[in-house]
Amino acid sequence: MTLLEAADVRKFYGDTCALDGVSLRVDAGEFVSIIGPNGAGKTTLVNVLTGLAPPSSGRVSFKGVDVVGATPVRLARLGMARSFQLVTIFPGLSVADTLAVAALSRLGRSARPFTALARDAEVRAAVEEVAVLFGLADKLGRLARTLPQGDKKLLDVASAFALHPDVILMDEPTSGVSTADKTAVMETLVQAARRMGIRAIVQVEHDMDIVFGYSDRIVALHQGRVLADATPDAIRADADVVATVVGRPR
Ligand SMILES: Nc1ncnc2c1ncn2[C@@H]1O[C@H](COP(=O)(O)OP(=O)(O)OP(=O)(O)O)[C@@H](O)[C@H]1O
Ligand SMILES: [Mg+2]
């Protein structure tokens, strides 16, 4: 079953063509990685798919519904969530508060005062659930800004998971994390996705060990176009793609 589909999407920023006729499908059960050199259009594609940037032309549908022009809030209600390349930590919030804000937006009670909501058992349960899954349970009282980079990335992804999405899109979930810690971050979030019943994962990733290790399918972007859309084995065997996108022979 196709969950997310983009058809012939173009995106211009002034004269810059960031996406030049991109088509993409994500089916239930898939882990899809978007790769490509700096400026290839990876973040723009995620922004278009998640309602953050309207496409200049083309179609995007989620669960069969046309979602061009849909806001991120509406997409979250439909079952789509995302995390960001640059972590958007609220410096004054604790880990628990950060997760509570996300859980609140899912539970649709943002109109109630925050202090009252902090006591809300449902929010606490949701916070506890994701905190345990992401290994953050013993850090709930810490200020988010004091976490090490790996935990900041996990907190950002955990906030997206707190929305209980069907599909999650992650823009470089391990960027800024040391090579030694990247696999641990990926393992945590893949396990969490499995336990929470997330039906498909789309990630942007530069680390080719992570990309080849986790993906069912790889979409290689170059200058706003899809250069290849294939299994890890097929991508690895394609010397042109490897040279253009990976930049070194493997
Ligand atoms: N908000 C914006 N305004 C103007 N130009 C933009 C904007 N966002 C992206 N671009 C341009 O669109 C192109 C694609 O950028 P994008 O950020 O999508 O690339 P990327 O593949 O995510 O790169 P990176 O690997 O560095 O994260 C680039 O030429 C970039 O300069
Ligand atoms: Mg990017």
**Res. 100: pLDDT tops 50:** yes
Residue nearest to atom 9 of ligand 1 (CA): 44
CA distance 171 to 152: 14
Residue nearest to atom 16 of ligand 1 (CA): 41
**Res. 247: pLDDT tops 80:** no
Which residues are CB-neighbours of 135 under 8 A, at least 6 positions away?
A: 154, 188
Q: How far is the CA of 23 from the centre of ligand 2 (A)?
A: 18
Q: Would you list the domain boundaries of the chain?
A: 2-246
pLDDT reported for residue 94: 94
Q: Which of 8-12, 104-108, 232-236 has the lowest mean pLDDT?
A: 104-108
* pLDDT tens digits, 51-77: 889 999 999 999 999 999 888 888 888
**Res. 118: pLDDT tops 70:** no
**Res. 236: pLDDT tops 50:** yes
Neighbouring C-beta atoms of residue 106, cutoff 10 Å: 16
Q: What is the 3-state secondary structure (H, E, C) of 183-218?
A: HHHHHHHHHHHHHHCCCEEEEECCCHHHHHHHCCEE
Q: Which ligand is nearest to the CA of 14?
A: 1
CATH dotted code for 2-246: 3.40.50.300
- Mean pLDDT score, 26-54: 95
Residue nearest to atom 5 of ligand 1 (CA): 13
Query: What is the CA angle 73-71-118, rounded to 5?
Result: 20
Q: How confident is the model at residue 250 (pLDDT cuts 50, 70, 90)?
A: very low
Ligand 1, CB cutoff 6 Å, lining residues: 13, 16, 18, 36, 38-44, 85
CA distance 60 to 56: 12
Q: Which of 87-91, 116-120, 145-149, 184-188 has the lowest mean pLDDT?
A: 116-120
* pLDDT tens digits, 213-234: 999 999 999 999 999 999 999 9
